[in-house]
Structure 1
């Protein structure tokens, strides 16, 4: 039987995916595990493996096109099989859902008070259903565990067993993709797998039922009926206050209509002549407030247009004197020299537009949230880099890989964060998290946008180790091979534009970090040393801080420590 292949949810923030490339074409035979396409998500471009076997009968989307999560991208089945039935089957499933949603919306909008009463009545009838004793049923419910502190749901990436299989307590039941990584879920129950709640690629909320394990042949319907009752209660509690609020919502537009009618009446009573005079909106408002007739005001802007300045300088007493002045100025204007002729240049206005990539959408969403949620402030400092330049030259004579100035900055930042833990923190709503580990995010520019892979435990790694990791991440980023584990978990971020010749700049904080360091280019400038002006090498640093967790003095002390470490690099080895 032909089966529809749908767009999987490959990350917690993914709403759609772009078909970057098809690896199979219609008519090809596919085995389970074969890569059939490359899908560009809001994080990276990933391989999409088939979990089905058969022949590719239909491709529903062209390369470069976006498809929402759970949208049909292909159909697989037996050779020569009619795939249209599978497509029509998916459409018929969606139509009843749309009709039900319309009906529920109509019921909510019509007579909201009655709907709350109707919803309250069934509560008494449902009480006996909740008291069903499930303790005697020889089966256990396995629920979606909270695998991270921020996890709200998990996506079943892969089922390791199917219904009817025998399971031991230490078997890995499934691979679950969370908001952090993909992890194994152990059932901790023995018996036969009786029920699977969702298909691979579908999400389940935390504490939602994912499977039932028990004695073969057990009736599990009481266990399944036990879950929806709680959900219905929550829906009713949320809908009741919404229904109560509808009278106010109906009354509000009536008040606004009355205000609009009164404003319209005032506008009609104003002079019709004023509306024909050329004037700016601000000038009209000022004239109306001061009771000035616009016909009496002479405009000074182009074409005799009245602006704010004309209203402010207008004096009613000078009105009669203006007529002779204008008559006297008329001959003078005629005698004036002709204006110079400006040559015309004819150009063509044109542009190109491209659809926003998934990565650019993610950057837009996260940085907008950061800038307008976290109150940013910036601190700047200048570092003498003569010592760092001399030290780097000596290190590179013995190091197995070439050490860059950015590697030295990362190491110095990690050590400085150990001495100033308040800067290595993040705002978590009702609490502040002070990280004891130093995971430094390194901003990397790629063709489509920006990625921030993480150097973990950077304070304990050598400069050579840091350099190798940064180079490896850079290659993966350009090839779009970075995985979620590579860019998650930073506690502080470093952004360096010195290689582009940028002297100094400021950056937007990479949430949930509490700060970000912007590194400029090393400049050769005259400096004063021991009372004499000599050539020197300086580098400017800018620290962007989240004022919810970092104060100005705290950030300044961190920069002082960082400056000392960079000016005396031998301290990095202490």
Structure 2
């Protein structure tokens, strides 16, 4: 029997996502594990691999459409089967009776012309949230339906600019702005008539002015903002700072790079030292859960990677068992695919600890915000030359400051300090990193 493929929850707490691009076409044979689509979430673009084998019978969602997690996105079956052979697609109960959009079980959502391009078909139209006396069935994305409900927009009579008259977000936004304009004008009039405040106030919303341009938030930026606020308000942070002498570390790096074909970075050695410190102090390798504390058996470390208008933290698993060269290769691969939108779902999940390195920007020292569900993050500053005292004599050394942000629900101060001391020892005696 044909199988209905649904939008996966590609990130924790994700409720909706968009198909950025399909990696397959109708009629193609796919196997389990083969890339099916690139899915865009609030925080990243990840590659979604097929969980079933068979022939792609139908693509139910157009590229760029935002749909709820769990919504049907494709139908896969055996050669010769039709979409009608697919198991019925359960429909979630609408928030209110008027918002229901009847859809036939596994109904084809796209025509397939001779050129092989999927296009919305005339029978794939759900009823308009606005209703209307005509009762005509209209095709629109879940995002459009939600915006129409939230802003009480009647979509009857709206001509969609999408394929075959599909109503898309750009068709709704002008209606929302037009509806909000009278209310904003009324508020402006009230403000003009009211006495001037005696103290400065912060506006609840911002708008473009002659000397400022309003850049709308992306979904990624909104998610980052929400998660960081949750972290700072729900996770009790405390901070420990240490100063490492890294002359031996830099010399080891030079020797490794001179002898090998794969270049090793300082950050690779730092991440390897982080894993080594967890081997030395395993009681620090823990994370918080509602049911209890999770004791992790391997060092799964997330690496902060800056991308356009955001940050992602792909996870390298089992770092303690990797060679430095293999670790460097994996970090470079994850960072490159993070910037190009090629990360897979499992590569951005899990982990117990993060590393954020701003040393390459010349930042001497900083404190980072914990990335839940991790229990800590190490902020790494730039290496710099400075005077140091050795056996009562003054000499020039190379120093690097690091700051540990720790979750006090899981890590007590003594355990965190013990772990940080183990990390510094590994950095200052770098041959132990290779062990």
TM range (shorter): 0.5 to 0.7
- Unaligned runs of at least 5 residues, structure 1: 96-275, 282-346
2:357 is the alignment partner of 1:496 = yes
Structure 1 partner of 2:397: 536
- 1:445 is paired with a residue whose SS is strand
Asked if the contact 2:16/2:67 (under 8 Å) is kept, the reply is yes
- Between the aligned partners of 1:572 and 1:48, the Cα distance in structure 2 is 35
Cross-structure match for 1:354: 216
Q: RMSD in angstroms over aligned alpha carbons?
A: 3.9
> How many Å apart are 1:21 and its aligned residue?
5.3
> Which of residues 308, 328, 336 is equivalent to 1:467?
328
Which residue, out of 67, 89, 110, partners 1:76? 110
- Tell whether the 8 Å contact from 1:386 to 1:536 is kept in structure 2 after alignment: yes
3-state DSSP class of the match of 1:396?
helix
Whether 1:396 aligns to 2:257 is: yes
Q: Assess, with a 3 A threshold, how the Cα gap between structure 1 residues 442 and 45 changes in structure 2: closer, same or farther.
A: closer
CA distance in 1, matches of 2:395, 2:325: 32
> Does residue 454 of the first structure (1) align with residue 318 of the second (2)?
no
Does the residue aligned with 1:388 lie in a helix, a strand or coil? helix
> What are the superposed Cα offsets for residues 331-390 of structure 1, whole Å, 9 maximum, x if unpaired?
xxxxxxxxxxxxxxxx93230423413x33443333332221110000001011111112
Per-residue CA deviations over 1:30-52 (Å, capped at 9, x if unaligned) read 42569997542234244799975
Q: Quick one: distance in 2 between partners of 1:71 and 1:544?
A: 41
- Between the aligned partners of 1:9 and 1:90, the Cα distance in structure 2 is 26
Change (3 A) 1:32 1:490: same
Paired residue for 1:161? none
Q: Equivalent residue of 2:343, what SS? A: coil
Q: Distance in 2 between matches of 1:76 and 1:417?
A: 52
Paired with 2:122 and 2:243, the residues of 1 have a C-alpha distance of: 68
What TM-score do you get using the length of structure 1 for normalisation? Answer: 0.48
Matching residue within 214, 230, 233 for 1:372: 233
In structure 2, list runs of 5 or more residues that go unmatched.
75-107, 130-134, 139-193, 200-208
Which residue of 2 is the match for residue 523 of structure 1? 384
The answer as to whether partners of 2:110 and 2:124 remain within 8 angstroms in 1 is no
Q: What residue in structure 1 maps to residue 153 of structure 2? A: none
1:20–1:64 contact (8 Å) kept in structure 2: yes
Structure 2 distance, partners of 1:524, 1:82, is: 63
Query: What is the match of residue 86 of structure 1?
Result: 124
Question: Distance in 2 between the 1:560 and 1:404 partners?
Answer: 22
Matches within 5 A, 1:310-389: 348-357=210-219, 359-389=220-250
Q: Which residue of 2 aligns with 1:16?
A: 16
Within 5 Å, which residues of 2 pair with 1:437-448?
Answer: 437-448=298-309
Partners in 2 of 1:546 and 1:277 — Cα distance?
47
Contact in 2 for aligned 1:441/1:453 (Cα 8 Å): yes
8 A Cα contact 1:7 1:68, kept in partner: no
- Aligned-partner SS, 1:524: strand
Shift of 1:532: 2.9
Matched position secondary structure for 2:400: strand
Residue pair 2:17, 2:39 contacting (<8 A) in 1 also: yes
| C-alpha distance in 2 between matches for 1:492 and 1:458 | 12
Which residue, 510, 519, 535 being the options, matches 2:371?
510
Maintained 8 Å contact 1:418/1:436: no
Within 2, Cα distance between the matches of 1:413 and 1:20? 35
Q: CA, structure 1 residues 47+498, in 2 after alignment: closer, same or farther (shift >3 Å)?
A: same
User: How much does 1:72 deviate?
Assistant: 9.2
- Residue 569 of structure 1, CA deviation: 1.0
Structure 1 distance, partners of 2:314, 2:371, is 12
CA 1:82–1:414 in structure 2 vs 1: closer, same or farther (change >3 Å)? closer
2:275 to 406, 410, 414: 414
Q: Deviations over 1:527-562 (max 9, x none)?
A: 222323322110000000001111112111111121
Asked whether 1:31 is paired with 2:24, we answer: no
Matches of 1:78 and 1:494 in 2, distance apart? 47
Distance change in 2, residues 1:93/1:452 (3 Å): farther
Q: Who is 1:343 aligned against? A: none
Distance change >3 Å, CA 486–CA 85, structure 1 → 2: closer
Query: 1:228-247 alignment to 2 at 5 Å?
Result: none
Tell me the CA shift for residue 87 of structure 1.
Answer: 0.8
CA–CA distance in 2 between the matches of 1:386 and 1:21? 47
Please, what TM-score do these two structures have when normalized by structure 2?
Answer: 0.62
Over alpha carbons, which structure has the higher Rg? 1
Contact 1:375 1:546 in 2 (8 A): yes
**C-alpha distance in structure 2 between counterparts of 1:82 and 1:490, whole Å:** 41
Deviation at 1:499, TM superposition (A): 0.8
CA-CA distance at 1:506 after TM superposition: 0.9
Matched residue of 2:403: which SS? strand
For 1:422, what is the secondary structure of its paired residue?
helix
Shift of 1:85: 3.8
Q: Residues 189-268 of structure 1: matches in 2 within 5 Å?
A: none
Larger fraction in helix:
1
In structure 2, C-alpha distance between the alignment counterparts of 1:429 and 1:90, rounded to whole Å: 42
Asked if residue 41 in structure 1 is aligned to residue 79 in structure 2, the reply is no
Separation (CA, whole Å) in 1 of partners of 2:113 and 2:395: 81
